[in-house]
Amino acid sequence: MRSAVVVGAGVGGLAVAGALARSGWQVTVLERAERVRPEPTAVVLWPNGVRALQALGLGAGLAAIATPLPDGGVRRPDGHWLVQPRPIPADRMPVVVHREDLHDALIAGLGERVELRTGVTVRHVRVEPGERPGVSDGRHTIEADLVVAADGTDSGIRRQLAPESRVVSSGCAAWRAVIPWYQAPRLPDDQPLAGEILGAGYRFVAASLGERGSSGGSSRGGIYWVATAAGAPRPEPPETQLALLRRWYAGWPAPVGALLDATDPADLVQQEVRELRPLPRAYGFPVGPGGVVLLGDAAHAMPPHLGQGACLAFEDAATLASLLREARLPDAVQAYDRVRRPRAATVVRQTRRMSAVLQTRGRLALRARDAALGTINSRLLSSAAASAAQWRPPT
């Protein structure tokens, strides 16, 4: 029986662990935290992410917890439309999912061949020629045919195998929250909810998780919002951070103020937005009879502006699982590297272009951006949407 060690129990690590187990592998998942606990926020999945989960055998579970996300357009803080809402073809419409629901679905898909160990910090990966790969926490070494580094942006395995790739700040911070339906404000029927509002270095996006009074299969319905602001994360407690957000976004179009007022500080999640520059020189490293691969944010951490972080992680997992069914292990590792690096580079390049547009500062630059945003935003989003819609897992 082939064996794998998956380092990291985020969405990418859990997805690939379940896929390998369902293919007959014995899998050990190592997580540095004492508990595997997702953020109480949500995640947007574009068609490529949905298709990847379907390829992993998780499509039915996703359908029960996902809410379609229509195009809400783009507005300025004064309410002026920069890009009007437009209909999205069904095959290109993203969905929004509560992270806790997604986590539950991934855990349910692990099966009996997966052992999950928490409180384990991997400090070293063994890649000596002729030997099986392995990982060590400084006291014990675990060997396997395959090591999957799904240990996030600060991946210790990536630092050892691809030291040229550094984690850098993207120049902004993000705040997220889900307002449960029982405390969410009631909004007029003609008031747009989904969509973007762009200011000078500021951005606000909101979306519904299921219908009010029902959760669309989820017990965690509500309104999900994300606010992004240029600068470093704030050190103050959540109550103060929320007060700052209300001040920064004062006067923005409805329902921004109402959503911030309805948010419980305990539900606020702050995150520094970081990325990898440059991307690793390789995503697959053959080692003896097996190999090591980088997956998810460990391979291609990027700003969240196009909502592709989790989608690419699921693409990685579906691609790796498919290749391992079709090829010898060292060959599959090399094929994974050949397939995933160009794909990740394309999405990261699109994301960085969007990041430059969103973080425009200065009066003249803002005027120029707003004048051209309809064209720029449409072109970038159309390119990203087409890329997401066209991706298929290898067969």
Q: Give the start-to-end residue ranges of the domains of the chain.
A: 3-169+275-389
pLDDT at 217 (0 to 100): 42
Q: What are phi and psi of 272, to 5 degrees?
A: -75, 130
Q: Are residues 120 and 135 in contact, defined by beta-carbon separation less than 8 angstroms? A: no
Q: At residue 196, does pLDDT exceed 70?
A: yes
- Higher pLDDT: 373 or 335? It is 335
pLDDT at 28 (0 to 100): 98
As beta bridge partners, residue 209 has 222
pLDDT class of 297 with cuts at 50, 70, 90: very high
- Higher pLDDT: 92 or 232? It is 232
pLDDT in tens, 255-284: 999 999 999 999 999 999 999 999 999 999
Of the options 3.40.50.150, 3.50.50.60, 3.30.70.870, 3.40.630.10, the CATH number for the domain spanning 3-169+275-389? 3.50.50.60
pLDDT in tens, 36-93: 999 999 999 999 999 999 999 999 999 999 999 998 888 989 998 888 888 888 878 8
pLDDT at 97 (0 to 100): 97
Choose the weakest-confidence range: 3-7, 209-213, 252-256. 209-213
> What is the rounded distance in angstroms from the CA atom of residue 210 to the CA atom of residue 207?
9
Give Cα 376 distance to the centre of its chain: 23
Q: At residue 337, does pLDDT exceed 60?
A: yes
CB-based burial label for 371 (10 Å; 0-12, 13-18, 19+): exposed
Mean pLDDT of the chain: 90
Where does residue 152 fall: left (phi above 0), alpha (psi -120 to 50 degrees), or beta otherwise?
A: left
